[in-house]
Amino acid sequence: MTKGRLFSASEEEIRNGYTTDVYFDRTKRILEARGNGETEVWAEVTGSSLPRDWKWAVYCGLEEVLRLAEGYPIDMYSVPEGTVFRARSQNSVRIPLMNIHGVYSRFGVIETPLLGMLCQPSGVATCAARTKMAAGGKSVTAFGNRRMHPAISGVLDRSAFIGGCDAVSSRMGGDITETEPLGTTPHALMLVMGSNEEAFRSFDEIIEPEVPRIMLIDTFSDERTGAMDACRSVRNLMGVRLDTPGSRRGNFKEIIDEVRWELDMNGYEKVGIMVSGGLDEISVAALSGTCVTGFGVGTSISNAPTLDLSMDIVEKKGEPVSKRGKFGGRKYAYRCPDCLYMDASLSPGDSITCSCGCEMDMIEEKVLEGGKRTSKPRGAKEIRESVIEQLQLISEL
């Protein structure tokens, strides 16, 4: 029996332009028919404003863009993946996150997928970063794959991890980020097996010892009863997880405190408490000062607003051009190493002083030359670490 095809695009279809907006193909045909098929341009990727009045965002998705753009006859320059950036300078100039030099009709086909590979991942990474900041040093695990199409699970997990999440939940995300995916027991295990003890004991006996033991304790009864079931049934119990339904939550902090008390009183001081269920940066912040040791955050990260980045031609045959509302000329991104304010200049060797008094750094790197990679690929862990470092400098959300 032939199965119907899924509606998600294959890698091949993305690469050959099947998902690209149809106007590009028409533009290319017109340019070629009218002798403009070889017009060399500079195009830049910028954002006009950030969603939800965010003051900054995390630039994510460059590595996938490079895997897409490799082989095209272009030179590409970009700020490093993981850059915490602002959309505009204090003089309203849009900060160029990426610059592409080449013949428009030869690379325009990748504009649509390239923007998608930056806009959505950057939104997810930014939400993850804000949630990680709200958690005040406690761990955050990305649990949001089930809210989005499975074709992008790897992208979502990588973006959430780069933004600052400590762990991801899918095996694909684990492979891409070179981390061990994290999972607890699902409610289904206890429901099918009929009791907490039976499910917890079986998990402990069957699952490899290196997998952290985190038991979900809200299935049948009170969380503190469930917590003691877990302590009795599992050796090396790492934590208990409360996914308490909204209808039973009442004062969630008090339920968590009560579970902590019960654990401590019975000698399980080392057992952590993970909470999940409809959390976002606001509810995580509200619980960050409690005895919670980790958060599982799903929808609010995977359903992050996508960034409104666009690609625009800013130079044609060496002359500045631009559509109204944009600033012409090939520009270089600068950023203050101290407060992360940004600026753009027409010169790569400019000396720009930030309003805080620091000298700004030109932060653009050459990433492709004639379609060949010129920068060493950076792993997700390294990028994530740089994001965490930058987040220490952020004082406003």
Choosing from 156, 230, 354, 368, the residue that interacts with Zn ion (CB under 5 A) is: 354
Stretch that binds Zn ion, among 13-21, 200-208, 348-356, 372-380 (CB under 5 A): 348-356
Q: How far is the CB of 92 from Zn ion (least distance, A)?
A: 18
Choosing from 192, 282, 356, 397, the residue that interacts with Zn ion (CB under 5 A) is: 356
Q: Are the beta carbons of 132 and 165 closer than 8 angstroms?
A: yes
Q: How far is the CB of 359 from Zn ion (least distance, A)?
A: 9
Choosing from 193, 358, 362, 394, the residue that interacts with Zn ion (CB under 5 A) is: 358
Stretch that binds Zn ion, among 41-49, 101-109, 322-330, 355-363 (CB under 5 A): 355-363
Q: Does 352 bind Zn ion (CB under 5 A)?
A: no
Q: Strand locations in the chain, DSSP E?
A: 40-47, 57-58, 75-78, 84-85, 98-103, 139-142, 213-216, 237-242, 272-276, 294-297, 309-316, 319-320, 332-335, 342-345, 361-362, 365-369, 372-373
Q: Which is nearer to Zn ion, 103 or 362 (CB)?
A: 362
Q: Are the beta carbons of 48 and 308 closer than 8 angstroms?
A: yes
Stretch that binds Zn ion, among 50-58, 93-101, 278-286, 350-358 (CB under 5 A): 350-358
* Longest alpha-carbon distance in the chain: 81
CA geometry: angle at 160 spanning 155 and 164, to 5°? Answer: 145
Q: Which is nearer to Zn ion, 176 or 352 (CB)?
A: 352
State the CB neighbour count (10 A cutoff) for residue 2: 4
Q: How far is the CB of 357 from Zn ion (least distance, A)?
A: 7
What 3 state SS string does 69-131 have? HCCCCCEEEECCCCCEECCECCCCCECCCEEEEEEHHHHHHHHHHHHHHHHHHHHHHHHHHHH
Stretch that binds Zn ion, among 253-261, 263-271, 353-361, 371-379 (CB under 5 A): 353-361
Q: Which is nearer to Zn ion, 98 or 354 (CB)?
A: 354
Choosing from 338, 350, 361, 389, the residue that interacts with Zn ion (CB under 5 A) is: 338
Query: In the complex, which residues of this chain contact Zn ion (CB under 5 A)?
Result: 336, 338-339, 341, 354, 356, 358
